[in-house]
Amino acid sequence: MEIVLGIESSCDETAAALVRADRTVLAQRIASQDDAHRPYGGVVPEIAARAHAERLTPLIDATLAEAGISLTEVDAIAATAGPGLIGGVMVGLVTAKALAMASDKPLLAINHLEGHALSPRLADPDLDFPYLLLLVSGGHCQLLLVEGAGKYRRLATTIDDALGEAFDKSAKLLGLGYPGGPAVERLAGEGDPQAVPLPRPLMGAKEPHFSFAGLKSAVLRAKESGEHTDADIAASFQQAAIDCLIDRTRHAIGTVRPVNALVVAGGVAANKAIRAALEELASEHDLCFVAPPLALCTDNAAMIAWAGIERLTLGQSDPLDFVARPRWPLDPDAAPARGAGVKA
Ligand code: KG4
Ligand code: ZN
């Protein structure tokens, strides 16, 4: 049975994992760079690239040692080849190319978003295509119809900020530091979600997209007014974000052909309140709800190895001269959303 080595280095986690085709994660290691970036309140690309370069090779060695196997027993090498911070992506991809060349094994250049999109299938063997995917991370907020590995139709995207970005910026405004999402969720647990009136951008709109920039600005105004506790602001922000997510996902369910499940993935999918609200929405529509375990939601290499297994199973691999891609949409045919890098 195939074993794939996965490598992830597109943002601030250096990660390696060995996954077998029967969905067994033989070993996985993640080296977080949170401490290196914390003083700057966000990820510094140059620091990230250097940290990946220092940590990746020992991490791969440790992962192989933990699984008790050698490179010769691995069937393919999969690495994130984009989208992401290009310095880090290049470190991971070049390492994967060298290992593939040295061991004469196929290379799989994985789209990081595909890693997130297929991660629920690693966690749940019963999850079949097609499914409706809400992909919510630090860089993306999209609804996708997933028809198969490599077959994605984008139904909606954000016209401004990603939801993870809104969580991170709100955290910064509230002095919660970096990384922001988990800190906002913790503080929200102590506040009243109805206390601060905040906008719900694009809620009820005919167009399918998301928008979070106005919500973030409203958090800034609420903080500056001095009228609210930070916990109430955090709780109200999280509630407004949930209301937007649910409204937009409900809209998508109404427009898409029958699907097997509603699935959430990406770093923000680690948020328990968001998971609970989506689960309720799914049951309203008699849909299965699938959310990967928390460790598979935030960036990790098991999801990259798994995407590699899915593509290997389809007989696919990539040439050793595959070029890293800073931008790489899952659905290249999707019409540009208003505002998303498009000049009016
Ligand atoms: O998928 P991911 O690990 O990296 C990207 O590919 O972007 O997502 C990271 C994002 C960050 O914005 C982080 O603040 C957010 O996911 N996040 C959360 C939570 N945990 C991570 N947002 C809300 N609640 C959480 N518990
Ligand atoms: Zn990610």
Question: Which pLDDT tens digit goes with each residue over 275-308?
Answer: 999 999 999 999 999 999 999 999 999 999 999 9
Say whether both 264 and 311 belong to one domain. Answer: no
Residue nearest to atom 13 of ligand 1 (CA): 181
At residue 341, does pLDDT exceed 70? no
| pLDDT tens digits for range 127-138 | 999 999 999 999
Cα 203 to ligand 1 centroid, rounded to whole Å: 22
Q: In which domain, by residue range, is 41 found?
A: 3-117+296-343
Closest ligand 1 atom to Cα of 171 = 14
Say whether both 94 and 8 belong to one domain. Answer: yes
- Phi first, then psi: give them for residue 233, nearest 5 degrees: -65, -45
Cα 221 to ligand 2 centroid, rounded to whole Å: 29
At residue 124, does pLDDT exceed 50? yes
Q: Which of 113, 134, 167 is the pocket-test mutation for ligand 1 (most atoms within 8 Å of CB)?
A: 167
* Residues facing 18 on adjacent strands: 5, 27
> What crossing angle do the helices spanning 180-188 and 272-284 adopt, rounded to 10°?
80
d(CA 331, CA 339): 18
Q: Is 268's C-beta closer than 6 angstroms to any atom of ligand 1?
A: yes
d(CA 270, CA 265): 8
For 133, the 3-state DSSP assignment is strand
Would you say residue 264 lies in a domain? yes
Say whether both 192 and 239 belong to one domain. Answer: yes
Collect all residues with Cβ–Cβ distance below 8 Å to 169 and sequence separation of at least 6: 161, 180, 216, 219
Say whether both 199 and 287 belong to one domain. Answer: yes
Nearest to 177 by CA among 35, 14, 11: 35
pLDDT at position 340 is 55
- Phi first, then psi: give them for residue 83, nearest 5 degrees: -75, 160
At residue 247, does pLDDT exceed 90? yes
Q: Is 201's C-beta closer than 6 angstroms to any atom of ligand 1?
A: no
Domain end marker among 265, 291, 317: 291
Q: How many domains, the chain?
A: 2
Cα 229 to ligand 2 centroid, rounded to whole Å: 31
Residue nearest to atom 19 of ligand 1 (CA): 181
Say whether both 46 and 8 belong to one domain. Answer: yes
* Residues facing 158 on adjacent strands: 210
Say whether both 317 and 266 belong to one domain. Answer: no
pLDDT at position 344 is 35
Longest dimension (CA), the chain: 64
Q: ω before 39 within 30° of 0 (cis)?
A: no
Say whether both 87 and 12 belong to one domain. Answer: yes
Q: What are the b/e assignments for 253-281, b being 16+ CB within 10 Å?
A: beebeebbbbbbbbbbbbbebbbebbbeb
Q: Is 212's C-beta closer than 6 angstroms to any atom of ligand 1?
A: no
Say whether both 243 and 309 belong to one domain. Answer: no
Would you say residue 97 lies in a domain? yes
pLDDT at position 119 is 97
Q: Which of 137, 142, 176, 327 is the pocket-test mutation for ligand 1 (most atoms within 8 Å of CB)?
A: 137
Would you say residue 16 lies in a domain? yes
> What crossing angle do the helices spanning 272-284 and 230-255 adopt, rounded to 10°?
30
- pTM (predicted TM-score): 0.94
Say whether both 70 and 85 belong to one domain. Answer: yes
Say whether both 210 and 280 belong to one domain. Answer: yes
Say whether both 215 and 194 belong to one domain. Answer: yes
Say whether both 328 and 209 belong to one domain. Answer: no
Q: What is the DSSP letter of 210?
A: B
- What kind and span of H or E run contains 14? strand 13-20
- Cα angle 218-84-32, degrees, rounded to a multiple of 5: 85
Collect all residues with Cβ–Cβ distance below 8 Å to 120 and sequence separation of at least 6: 127, 131, 133, 263, 264, 265, 290, 291, 292
Would you say residue 60 lies in a domain? yes
CATH number at residue 325: 3.30.420.40
